[in-house]
Amino acid sequence: MTEFDETKLLSMFDFSTADVVKCGAFDYTQAVHPGGQFIVSLTGVENANEGLPDFYFNVSFEGMTFVAEDPDKAIIRTMFHEAWKTVINFTAETCDAALELARPAKCVGVIRRTSTSGSNASVHTFRIDCVLVLVNFFGTYQEHEMPIFELKQVNLQPPESGKVTYIRFTVQSPCGVQRIRETVSNGVKITEHMVAFGEWEDRESLTYYPINQPVPVEQNT
């Protein structure tokens, strides 16, 4: 029996931006980093031939940067072009080698490559989807929906003095919570980007730390 481990595909991606964090969706809450994130997920499995151990494995790759650290989109654009080039060059042979499947399981094809991208006031994102065709697969896998994006904004008082935005990228709680505090002082806009770990419902009362500093999880659970 073999295991389909989509995180092994990350070894095929090299980014010129050294600070990009690469991880699987199940490890995503630990991958809070201002240099950008690149996440792989297995989002679905379909039987290709009824009664036979042949399957379509739907794999998604998602990149994300923060507007505060990537205001001109230079990082996210570079990430996307480098990731897209890698996926376009996927072959059955290279994916099979990366996945290290136990025989007789084998990757025999890569189909249906698509991409989407977008931005909002806080983040830039892109997503690349592709389908890997596996035959003779007698094994295990763990599906995971792409991390959700949830955002809550709170206006400071008075409202013109600024706002606070809370972000999470997972359905789980406790989880990593990011806080972007935008204030105005003497006509100058100041942005403070912090991170915490705890219950999403308690986001306003959590203890926050600089985003490039390790977060003591035990103190916030």
Is residue 7 located within the same domain as residue 99? yes
Same domain, 14 and 84: yes
Residues 105 and 14 in one domain: yes
Last residue of a domain, one of 140, 164, 198: 140
Quote the pLDDT of residue 133: 94
Same domain, 182 and 82: no
Residue 118: count of CB within 10 angstroms of its CB: 10
What is the band of 220 on the pLDDT scale with cuts at 50, 70, 90?
very low
Residues 157 and 121 occupy one common structural domain? no
Has residue 145 been placed in a domain?
Answer: no
DSSP-H helix ranges across the chain: 74-88, 92-99
8 with 93, same domain: the answer is yes
- 2-41 pLDDT per residue, tens: 789 999 999 999 998 767 888 887 665 544 566 688 989 9
Contact 54/47 with Cβ under 8 angstroms?
yes
Same domain, 130 and 167: no
Looking at residue 169, its pLDDT comes to 66
132 and 159, same domain (yes or no) = no
Residues 77, 14, single domain; the answer is yes
- Is the pTM higher than 0.75? The answer reads no
Closest listed residue to residue 61, CA positions, set 126, 149, 16: 126
Mean pLDDT throughout 53-68? 90
- In this structure, the answer to whether residues 12 and 119 fall within a common structural domain is yes
Contact (Cβ atoms closer than 8 angstroms) between residue 9 and residue 97 = no
Q: Note whether residue 215 is domain-resident.
A: yes
Classify residue 36 as left (phi > 0), alpha (psi -120 to 50) or beta: left
134 Cα distance to chain centroid:
24
User: Residue 187 domain-assigned?
Assistant: yes
pLDDT one-digit tens code per residue, 89-112: 999 999 999 999 988 899 999 987
Give me the domain span that covers residue 201: 150-220
Secondary structure class of 99 (helix, strand, coil): helix
145 pLDDT exceeds 60? no
> What's the full length of the chain, in residues?
221
Work out the pLDDT band at 60, boundaries 50, 70, 90: very high
The answer on 133 and 85 residing in a single domain is yes
Tell me: do 93 and 175 sit in the same domain. Answer: no
